[in-house]
Amino acid sequence: MIALGIEGTAHTLGIGITTEDKVLANIFDTLTTEKGGIHPKEAAEHHAKLLKPLLRRALQEAGVKIEDVNVIVFSQGPGLGPALRVVATAARALALRYSKPIVGVNHCIAHVEVSKLYGDVRDPVGLYVSGGNTQVIALKGGRYRVFGETLDIGIGNAIDTFARELGIGFPGGPKIEKLAQKGEKYIELPYAVKGMDLSFSGILTEVVRKYKSGKYRIEDLAYSFQETAFAALVEVTERALAHTGKDEVVLVGGVAANNRLREMLKAMAEDRGAKFYVPPYDLCRDNGAMIAYTGLKMFKAGIRFKIEETTVKQKFRTDEVEVTWS
């Protein structure tokens, strides 16, 4: 069977086409800025403008026609309302025009599910790190349970906000990582792990305050920010691994591109005798293939959506979804 997935929860529009075990196409385009962040209206306009050309490219790359597709899948949430609505409207239009079934997917779950396409991943603890979301999740009792999450802002958002204060534009992650690689001195910053949850607002406020004081090298601040924030992420993931008794860890989401975070998480997993996986980056970042793949698994498990059930959910919780397909 073939699924066509449309991702558009935030700044990236992605069109993916997959079978049960193979990615046929994974096309995406990300809205970027030289300075400042992304406004939801701008993201929606970006997605609306590029939907048709990206869809044509994806079908061409996959070597299929829209008539060959068995199910249309879209990211139902969580995310930016205007961007989500563009994607949902496009998915409904395709489903109705070509008489195809439609499935809405939880964006966070799709990030973890797609890791099972690679590396013999079966039942992992997932550290999902992106702009809007930071969660440690794992499948237990028929749902993806959230064992730890940010209490305020996502780690990606914190990094991008720091970058914006430095005037280096969006996305800020790769630029902050490069600065951090030149860091020579650790500067103490707030470390906030509260039970199994995390907070990044305090470290962000303090690193910006220190930057504005003019007393510290930017490279040292970037290095210290990464070391402190990533240590907290690894600590909570380790606790979830111990609690669940699982022996696999996957790192997913846009921040999974950061080599230092990979290094720290891999060391922790190896110390605990667990396997560590990171999907190819095109499947870590927001993408349509993960939406298509997860939606196809749901569809094959008998999950069906009526058109009136395809409204978007800006605050779609990971643990709302009953998992009947894994």
111 is in an annotated binding site: yes
3-state secondary structure at position 180: helix
- The whole-angstrom separation of Cα 172 and Cα 269 is 27
Q: What is the pLDDT of residue 204?
A: 97
133 is an annotated ligand-binding site residue: no
- pLDDT above 70 (res 115): yes
Q: What is the pLDDT of residue 113?
A: 96
- What pLDDT does residue 274 have? 97
325 pLDDT exceeds 70? Answer: yes
Q: Can you name the CATH fold of 3-112+283-320?
A: Nucleotidyltransferase; domain 5 (3.30.420)
Q: Is the pLDDT of residue 66 over 80?
A: yes
Identical fold between 3-112+283-320 and 121-278: yes
Is 211 annotated to bind a ligand? Reply is: no
Higher pLDDT, 172 or 84: 84
Q: Tell me what the mean pLDDT of segment 79-96 comes to.
A: 97
Task: Give 172-180's long-range contacts (Cβ < 8 A, gap of 24+).
Answer: 173/254, 173/255, 173/257, 173/258, 174/257, 176/222, 176/225, 176/226, 177/222, 177/226, 177/258, 177/259, 177/260, 179/218, 179/219, 179/222, 179/223, 180/219, 180/222, 180/223, 180/225, 180/226, 180/260
**Does the annotation place 236 within a ligand binding site?**
no
pLDDT of amino acid 185: 97
State the sign of the Cα–Cα–Cα–Cα dihedral 7, 140, 235, 242: negative
pLDDT of residue 37: 62
Residue 170 pLDDT more than 80?
no
Question: Is residue 130 part of an annotated ligand binding site?
Answer: yes
Tokens standing for residue 170: 């969006």
Residue 183 labeled ligand binder: no
CA–CA gap between residue 186 and residue 112 (Å, rounded): 33
Name the strand (E) or helix (H) holding 218: helix 218-244
CA distance 142 to 161: 36
List the domain boundaries for the chain: 3-112+283-320, 121-278
Beta carbons within 10 angstroms of residue 4's beta carbon: 33
Using a pLDDT cut of 70, give the percent of the chain over it.
98
- Residue 173 assigned as binding residue: yes
Q: DSSP states of 271-326 as a string?
A: HTT-EEE---HHHHSS-HHHHHHHHHHHHHTT----GGG----TT--GGGSB----
pLDDT at position 34: 67
Average confidence (pLDDT) over 169-176: 87
128 labeled part of a ligand binding site: yes
What is residue 226's DSSP assignment?
H
Nearest to 155, CA basis, from 111, 124, 192 = 192
CATH of domain 121-278: 3.30.420.40
In this prediction, residue 48 carries a pLDDT of: 97
Distance (Å, rounded) from C-alpha 118 to C-alpha 12?
23
CB 193 within 8 A of CB 145: no
Comparing 251 with 37, the larger pLDDT belongs to 251
Summary mean pLDDT of the chain:
95
pLDDT in tens, 117-140: 876 899 999 999 998 899 999 999
Distances (CA, A) of 57 to 27, 62, 208: 7, 9, 42
For residues 193 and 236, give the distance between their C-alpha atoms in angstroms, rounded to a whole number. 8
Reduced to 3 states, what is the DSSP secondary structure of residue 254? helix
Residue 271 assigned ligand-binding role: no
The pLDDT confidence band at residue 267, using thresholds 50, 70 and 90, is very high
Q: What is the band of 189 on the pLDDT scale with cuts at 50, 70, 90? A: very high
Mark residue 195 as left, alpha or beta (left: phi above 0; alpha: psi -120 to 50; beta: remaining).
left
pLDDT of residue 35: 65
Average pLDDT over residues 302-318: 96
- 286 marked ligand binding residue: yes
* pLDDT higher at 105 or 33: 105
| 99 among annotated binding-site residues | no
- The model's pLDDT over 202-238, given as tens digits with 9 standing for 90+, comes to 999 999 999 999 999 999 999 999 999 999 999 999 9
Question: Per the annotation, does 47 bind a ligand?
Answer: no
